Homo-oligomer: A and B are copies of this chain.
Amino acid sequence: MDSCVIPLRHGGLSLVQTTDFFYPLVEDPYMMGRIACANVLSDLYAMGITECDNMLMLLSVSQKMNEKERDQVMPLMMKGFRDAAEEAGTSVTGGQTVINPWIIVGGVASVVCQPNDFIMPDSAVPGDVLVLTKPLGTQVAVNAHQWLDISEKWNKIKLVISREEVEQAYQEAMLNMATLNRTAAALMHKFNAHAATDITGFGIIGHARNLAQHQKNNVAFVIHNLPIISKMAAISKAGGNLFGLLQGTSSETSGGLLICLPREQAARFCAEMKSSRVGLSGAVGQDGGAGDGQQAWIIGIVEKGNRCARIIDKPRIIEVPYRGSVVSAQEGSHNNASPTEVQLTQQLSQ
């Protein structure tokens, strides 16, 4: 499970909490703070929990930074963290900062829940489909961006991508990592999700396997589609299968939720993800234009099996456009299901 669930001594309540901390992987301290916060909360969201009672911030300031650098960087990182917490309807009360060779940023998220507030991630059944709520490829995008300045690395990938595209992919990855999985958590309840996890350091296949192992039923997860930030698959291939992106082993940071949903609910789940932010703290559903809602993809199926997960031999790569180009790509489209979703849904119905 992504969070620990502790039964309390008080009237059927449980304390659910999680912690995560890591090293900066983007250059923008503010965005780094947002990403760290989204990443911590994601473990709650993976259990369908939409509220958080408190966050603690864990920081380590690098001893290698001079005072001026510290005074510029750390407040921005803290602001990013706090802003994301506020967006999540919670706040940061408490924490700890130390000095260390490396910068560390992370936190703790805690919530006291009633039994219906969370969804135990163990009830997938054959016939479910797998939905993913953010594209893959953050590790490749972040690394490619660093390689802009390392000619030996850049030479390996420059035939398949321009410098401008690397910059766009990096921005796209950063936005995705900073996006809360909170809408997905709310929709898990609405559409009767059977199990979920969030995709982080072990890549999609690692987390899919882990989720499969924890199922009560004899199921196997089969992934047919890999939604990937545009051009990141090409970079991975050009670099000699970099990070195993197409095998699903590339690390993600603050990735999407991988959710097992009843087949008949999945398309509507994806449509609502895209169209609105719903069900959170009385927020009115917005008619989401592009960039307002979030895309989600049906990426696979749940079969009978022995609690394992695999990606099919030649998965379909879904090139997920950079946000700048999303608007034009989707203008005029009133069909909430993408062609690929429709295709897989049709395939599944056959």
Contact = CB atoms under 8 A, between A and B. Distances in A.
Interface of A: 3-4, 6, 8-11, 13, 15, 17-23, 53-54, 56, 58, 60, 93-96, 98, 100-102, 104, 106, 108, 110, 112, 114
Q: How many copies does the complex hold?
A: 2
Given A6-B53, A101-B101, A102-B100, A94 B11 contact: no
A55 to B, nearest CB: 10
B6 A58 contact: no
A98 B100 CA distance: 13
Contact of A94 (B3, B23, B56): B3
Contact of A20 (B11, B15, B20, B96): B96
Given A100-B101, A100-B102, A104-B100, A56 B6 contact: no
Give the 6 A-B residue pairs with the shortest CB-CB distance, closest first.
Answer: A4-B94, A101-B101, A4-B93, A6-B54, A19-B56, A19-B96
A272 to B, nearest CB: 26
A333 to B, nearest CB: 40
A329 B239 CA distance: 73
Contacts of A8: 53, 112
Contacts of A9: 53, 112
B15 A53 contact: yes
B56 A17 contact: yes
A22 B101 contact: no
Secondary structure type dominating chain A contacts: strand
B4 A54 contact: yes
A65 to B, nearest CB: 14
A10 B20 CA distance: 26
B58 A21 contact: yes
A232 B106 CA distance: 38
A54 B10 contact: no
Given A10-B10, A19-B58, A21-B58, A96 B100 contact: no
A56 B108 contact: yes
B93 A6 contact: yes
A17 B54 contact: yes
A214 to B, nearest CB: 16
Nearest to A23: B98
A52 to B, nearest CB: 10
A22 B60 CA distance: 10
B56 A58 contact: no
A157 to B, nearest CB: 27
A60 to B, nearest CB: 8
Contact of A10 (B21, B60, B112): B112
A13 B15 contact: no
A112 B13 contact: yes
25 contacts: A3-B94, A4-B56, A6-B54, A6-B93, A9-B112, A10-B10, A10-B11, A10-B13, A10-B112, A10-B114, A13-B112, A15-B53, A15-B54, A17-B54, A17-B56, A19-B56, A19-B94, A20-B96, A21-B58, A21-B98, A56-B108, A98-B104, A100-B101, A108-B108, A110-B110
